[in-house]
């Protein structure tokens, strides 16, 4: 048995293994999954000398704590949070050495939602369809962490980056999502299309890795009836019968039957992944490129 | 055929029927295999095919607009036989809806050749078409909180088999022991869009 492993001491509210997901299988009903904040995950991987596709831990709001069985280099990024090694404060957003058997504590996020923990060599659980990502919609990939879970680690690929700290975007006080018109915008009244682009929304506490749910004006349909199921993209703004738009995130279903009124620019989705429930949210219509 | 741009680099192609969607999907797969189409995902659905992660959306918008819907592809796809026991809790209701006996309902279902129109809902869940319109049935008014894996079910124009236990609102007419999804198997999904399917009653298998 390898001694390159993490023992999970405190799993936290929801900590999952994530990488770049499993695109290419949507026609079989397999969501893409993968990290919700790709730039943050790419940065922490770079800090520990990993390739961009190495698997990391994605925490939700309250962090986690793990104990490596052998010395490893880690980096914590994404949502800012206190980091401690063996009880002593350590750097956030920089490579940190954790000696064998010492506790790495990733504290509660002081802003944002999801912190990322990269470890030299990456998390090396068995891949499923080419990815180690936990997909909460379909249940593919490893189960969310529980206390006592042992996670195998890979062999370090390269030396950690020689940087002391790296600027990372602060989680937004207001979430602004640029949207282009969706394929079914014509299923809504002109007023609903205007409302989406002008009215104030808030991020709902019911948001998860599948979708960012919203509170705000209900969007009225111009057409009744059911839309035959059709393929869905990342960032689709789908409107279920209650009229409150839902922005599809990485674990979104591959097909769906509610009309898509707009689509969020993919560059704006990492910020959506870091928006706390209650965050003011605006959708800003932009021209399609 | 209508093309609808979606987001940064996707195109939703809408056609008039499920048969046209299947034909278009087969043609797009052929073009991807020959290297003329580059797309991360090609996702067929009820009346559409989604091209996601397209390298040149403008070109494909123009090309699809001018090419029209391809003809129905030759029925060369593999035929999968699924052993089935017609023992579902909704068989009597479905038979009543069809105005036949339960035995006759089972015979009708087992006598139909299905095609996987598209997948969705869960990995390996296929939406199978093939039943004539007179045999289409509504969903249950109240979905079940747990449908067992292997349940053979009907809703609207579709037949499906639940790959794993999940909530579901379809009418359950039978059970199969076939493993619809096994991520350790290659391919993981027993049913993929275009696959032909027959249900074979267990006593005949």
Q: Give the burial class of B103: count Cβ atoms within 10 A of its Cβ; 0-12 exposed, 13-18 middle, 19 or more buried.
A: exposed
Instruction: Pick B120's closest partner by Cβ from A182, A229, A266.
Output: A229
Using a CB–CB cutoff of 8 Å, tell me whether B63 touches chain A: no
**pLDDT for the residue numbered B67:** 83
Q: Are A166 and A40 in contact (CB under 8 A)?
A: no
What pLDDT band is residue A167 in, cutting at 50, 70 and 90?
low
Which is it for the CA torsion A263, A19, A129, B57, positive or negative?
A: positive
Task: Determine the residue among A26, A28, A228 to mutate to test chain B binding: the one whose Cβ has the most chain B Cβ atoms within 10 Å.
Answer: A28
Task: Determine the residue among B2, B122, B158 to mutate to test chain A binding: the one whose Cβ has the most chain A Cβ atoms within 10 Å.
Answer: B122
Question: Above 60 in pLDDT, residue B72?
Answer: yes
Residue A169 within a domain: no
Claim to verify: residue A275 and residue A179 sit in the same structural domain: yes
User: Which of A121, A152, A183 is a domain's end point?
Assistant: A152
Question: Shortest Cα distance from B117 to chain A (angstroms)?
Answer: 10
Q: How far apart are the C-alpha atoms of A231 and B193, rounded to whole Å?
A: 13
Put simply, the answer to whether A254 touches B119 (Cβ < 8 Å) is yes
Q: What is the mean pLDDT of residues A161-181?
A: 81
**pLDDT for the residue numbered A94:** 94
User: Which of A152, A186, A201 is a domain's end point?
Assistant: A152
Q: What percent of chain B has pLDDT over 90?
A: 87
A273 membership: H or E segment, kind and range: helix A269-273
Q: How far apart are the C-alpha atoms of A105 and A122, rounded to whole Å?
A: 18
**pLDDT for the residue numbered A1:** 46
Claim to verify: residue A30 and residue A124 sit in the same structural domain: yes
Q: Are B1 and B13 in contact (CB under 8 A)?
A: yes
Q: What is the mean pLDDT of residues B137-146?
A: 92
Claim to verify: residue A141 and residue A15 sit in the same structural domain: yes
Q: How far apart are the C-alpha atoms of B24 and A180, rounded to whole Å?
A: 26
CA A16 vs CA A131, A133, A226, B194, B205: distances in Å: 13, 8, 35, 34, 43
Q: How far apart are the C-alpha atoms of A153 and A68, rounded to whole Å?
A: 9
Q: Are A117 and A57 in contact (CB under 8 A)?
A: yes
Q: What is the ipTM of this complex?
A: 0.93
Query: CB count, 10 Å around CB of B176?
Result: 19
DSSP-derived secondary structure for B126-181: EEEE-S-GGG-BPPPSS-EEEE-TTEEEEEBTEEEE-SS-EEE-SEEEEE-----B
Residue A167 within a domain: no
Q: What percent of chain A has pLDDT over 70?
A: 97
Claim to verify: residue A143 and residue A193 sit in the same structural domain: no
Minimal CA–CA distance to A155: which of A118, A117, A127, A121? A121
Q: What is the mean pLDDT of residues A2-16?
A: 94
Q: How far apart are the C-alpha atoms of B155 and A144, rounded to whole Å?
A: 33
**pLDDT for the residue numbered A70:** 96
Residues of A in contact with B118 (CB under 8 A): 27, 229, 255
Residues of A in contact with B4 (CB under 8 A): 183
Using a CB–CB cutoff of 8 Å, tell me whether B125 touches chain A: yes
Claim to verify: residue A20 and residue A129 sit in the same structural domain: yes
Question: Shortest Cα distance from A28 to chain B (angstroms)?
Answer: 5
User: Domains plus CATH for chain B?
Assistant: 2-67 (3.30.1360.40), 79-204 (2.40.100.10)
Using a CB–CB cutoff of 8 Å, tell me whether A29 touches chain B: yes
Using a CB–CB cutoff of 8 Å, tell me whether B123 touches chain A: yes
Which is it for the CA torsion A247, A128, B165, B160, positive or negative?
A: positive
pTM of the model: 0.94
A43 membership: H or E segment, kind and range: helix A38-47
What pLDDT band is residue B76 in, cutting at 50, 70 and 90?
low
Query: A72-81, B62-71, B156-165: which has the minimum mean pLDDT?
Result: B62-71
Minimal CA–CA distance to A224: which of A261, A248, A189, A197? A189
Put simply, the answer to whether A27 touches B53 (Cβ < 8 Å) is no
**pLDDT for the residue numbered A204:** 97
Q: Tell me the pLDDT tens digit for each residue of A18-69.
A: 999 999 999 999 999 999 999 999 999 999 999 999 999 999 999 999 999 9
Q: Tell me the pLDDT tens digit for each residue of A226-271.
A: 899 999 999 999 999 999 999 999 999 999 989 999 999 999 999 9
Instruction: Pick B122's closest partner by Cβ from A29, A180, A182.
Output: A29
Residue A198 within a domain: yes
Residue A163 within a domain: no
Residue A162 within a domain: no
Q: What is the mean pLDDT of residues B142-153?
A: 95
Residue A217 within a domain: yes
Question: Above 60 in pLDDT, residue B205?
Answer: no
Residue A234 within a domain: yes
Residue A43 within a domain: yes
Q: Give the burial class of A225: count Cβ atoms within 10 A of its Cβ; 0-12 exposed, 13-18 middle, 19 or more buried.
A: exposed
What pLDDT band is residue A105 in, cutting at 50, 70 and 90?
very high
Claim to verify: residue A144 and residue A198 sit in the same structural domain: no
Claim to verify: residue A128 and residue A181 sit in the same structural domain: no
CATH number at residue A189: 2.40.100.10
**pLDDT for the residue numbered B69:** 80
Residue A90, helix vs strand vs coil: strand
Partners of residue A154 on adjacent β-strands:
none
**pLDDT for the residue numbered A165:** 58
Q: What is the mean pLDDT of residues A8-24?
A: 98
Query: CB count, 10 Å around CB of B63?
Result: 14
Claim to verify: residue A114 and residue A190 sit in the same structural domain: no
Claim to verify: residue A102 and residue A13 sit in the same structural domain: yes
Parent domain of A191: 175-285
Question: How many folded domains does chain A comprise?
Answer: 2
DSSP-derived secondary structure for B54-116: -S-HHHHHHHHHHH-PPPPPPS-S-EEEEEEB---TTHHHHHHHHTS-HHHHHHHHHTPPEEE
What pLDDT band is residue A2 in, cutting at 50, 70 and 90?
low
DSSP A266: G
Q: What is the mean pLDDT of residues A201-228?
A: 95
Using a CB–CB cutoff of 8 Å, tell me whether A284 touches chain B: no
Question: Above 70 in pLDDT, residue B45?
Answer: yes
User: Which of A117, A137, A152 is a domain's end point?
Assistant: A152
Q: Tell me the pLDDT tens digit for each residue of B149-181.
A: 999 999 999 999 999 999 999 999 999 999 999
Claim to verify: residue A280 and residue A189 sit in the same structural domain: yes
């Amino acid at each position: 048995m390898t001694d390159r492993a993490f023992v999970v001491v405190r799993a936290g509210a929801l900590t999952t293994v994530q990488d770049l997901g499993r695109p290419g299988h949507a026609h079989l009903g397999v969501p893409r999954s993968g990290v919700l904040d790709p730039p943050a995950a790419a940065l922490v991987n770079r800090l520990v000398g990993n390739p961009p596709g190495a698997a990391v831990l994605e925490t939700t709001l309250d962090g986690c704590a793990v104990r490596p069985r052998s010395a490893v280099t880690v980096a914590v990024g994404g949502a800012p949070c206190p980091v401690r090694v063996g009880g002593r404060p350590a750097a956030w957003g920089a490579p940190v050495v954790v000696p064998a058997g010492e506790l790495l504590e990733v504290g509660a996020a002081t802003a944002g939602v999801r912190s990322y923990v990269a470890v030299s060599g990456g998390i090396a659980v068995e891949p499923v369809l080419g990815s180690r990502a936990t997909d909460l919609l379909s249940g593919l990939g490893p189960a969310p962490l529980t206390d006592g879970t042992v996670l195998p680690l890979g062999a370090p690929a390269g030396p950690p980056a020689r940087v002391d700290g790296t600027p990372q975007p602060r989680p937004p006080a207001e979430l602004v999502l640029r949207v282009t018109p969706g394929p079914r915008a014509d299923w809504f009244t002109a007023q609903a299309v205007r409302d989406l682009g002008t009215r104030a929304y808030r991020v709902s506490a019911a948001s998860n890795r599948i979708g960012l749910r919203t509170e705000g004006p209900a969007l009225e349909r111009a057409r009744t009836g059911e839309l035959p199921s059709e393929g869905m993209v990342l960032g689709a703004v789908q409107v279920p019968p209650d009229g409150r738009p839902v922005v599809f995130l990485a674990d979104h279903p591959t097909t769906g039957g509610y009309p898509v009124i707009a689509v969020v620019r993919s560059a704006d989705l990492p910020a959506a992944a870091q928006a706390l429930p209650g965050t003011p949210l605006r959708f800003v219509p932009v021209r399609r490129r | 055929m209508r093309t609808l741009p979606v987001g940064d680099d996707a195109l939703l192609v809408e056609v008039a029927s499920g048969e046209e969607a299947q034909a278009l999907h087969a043609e797009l797969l052929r073009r991807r295999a020959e290297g003329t189409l580059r797309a991360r995902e090609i996702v067929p659905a009820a009346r559409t095919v989604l091209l996601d992660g397209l390298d040149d959306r403008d070109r494909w918008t123009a090309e699809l607009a001018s090419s029209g819907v391809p003809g129905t592809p030759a029925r060369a796809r593999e035929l999968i036989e699924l052993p089935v026991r017609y023992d579902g809790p909704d068989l009597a209701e479905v038979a009543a809806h069809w105005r036949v006996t339960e035995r006759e309902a089972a015979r009708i279902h087992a006598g139909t050749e299905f095609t996987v129109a598209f997948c969705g809902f869960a990995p390996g869940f296929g939406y199978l078409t093939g039943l004539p319109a007179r045999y289409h049935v509504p969903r249950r008014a109240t979905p079940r909180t747990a449908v067992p894996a292997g349940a053979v079910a009907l809703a609207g124009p579709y037949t499906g088999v639940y790959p794993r236990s999940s909530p579901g609102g379809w009418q359950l007419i039978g059970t199969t022991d076939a493993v619809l999804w096994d991520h350790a198997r290659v391919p993981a999904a027993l049913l993929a869009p275009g696959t032909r399917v027959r249900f074979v009653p267990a006593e005949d298998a």
